[in-house]
A = this chain, B = another copy of it.
């Protein structure tokens, strides 16, 4: 029989919650159900997460850390050229976003809510990475000139929108790579020599 103290309850909760989130979405996630799965009493989670929202925030936080890791890995693998790096980033972002739709929604939805300071902080690195990529693209003249903020926002919005459309079933997941490529082409300026995949 299990010991009185679980010992790793916080970790166990996060793992179970992550799975539940992926399988059934944030709405369906129930603290009591997680407790049952793990085999502790229904009030035990309270010791580690004062309320349901704080558990969701914790998930969003780790989500941003994972996103940052994956984006950096993608850039590292992409070689030196700007366009390949941009393409790799866009693809990696959309892949992350569609691999765990509910997590992405949680990450985005959490940022503007009160009490989510830690989530905002956790989102920093990933956003910085993408920001730098855009600023660099403009400096190198690969992206359209103009207000860097606006161009960057629109470009980020495009990635985000593609992810949303795949997640909601409006677009087949198989189109992911093609759409990422199309998006990159739209935003790359200058001669479209080798970057185009045929048209």
Binding site for B on A (CB under 8 A): 27, 108-109, 111-112, 144-147, 150-151, 153-154, 156-162, 164-165, 168-171, 175, 178-179, 182-183, 185-187, 199
Decide if B179 touches A153 in the complex (CB within 8 Å).
yes
Q: List 13 A-B contacts (CB under 8 A).
A: A108-B168, A112-B170, A150-B175, A150-B178, A150-B182, A153-B165, A154-B162, A157-B158, A157-B162, A157-B183, A158-B161, A160-B161, A160-B164
Within the complex, the shortest CB–CB distance from A126 to chain B, in Å, comes to 12
| Minimal Cβ-Cβ distance residue in B for A181 | B150
Evaluate contact between B112 and A169: CB separation under 8 angstroms: yes
- Which residues on the B side are within 8 Å of A183 (C-beta)? 154, 157
Say whether A179 contacts B154, CB under 8 Å: yes
A156 partner, pick from B151, B161, B169, B178, beta carbons under 8 A: B161
Q: What residues of chain B lie closer than 8 Å to A169, measured between beta carbons? A: 111-112
A144 contact set on B, CB distance < 8 A: 185-186
| Known contacts A150-B179, A158-B158, then 9 further A-B pairs from the complex at CB < 8 Å, ordered by chain A residue | A109-B168, A112-B169, A146-B199, A147-B182, A153-B175, A157-B160, A157-B179, A158-B161, A186-B187
| B112:A182 contact, CB within 8 angstroms | no
* A108 contacts across to B, CB distance below 8 A: 164, 168, 170
B168 touches A154 (CB 8 A): no
Contacts of A27 in B (CB 8 A): 27
Is there an interface contact between B171 and A162, defined as CB atoms closer than 8 Å?
no
Give CA–CA (A146, B179) in the complex, Å: 12
Q: Return chain B residues, CB-CB under 8 Å to A157.
A: 158, 160-162, 164-165, 179, 183
The CA-CA distance from A70 to B81 in the complex, in Å, is 44
Given contacts A150-B175, A161-B160, A161-B161, contact A199 B145 (CB under 8 A): yes
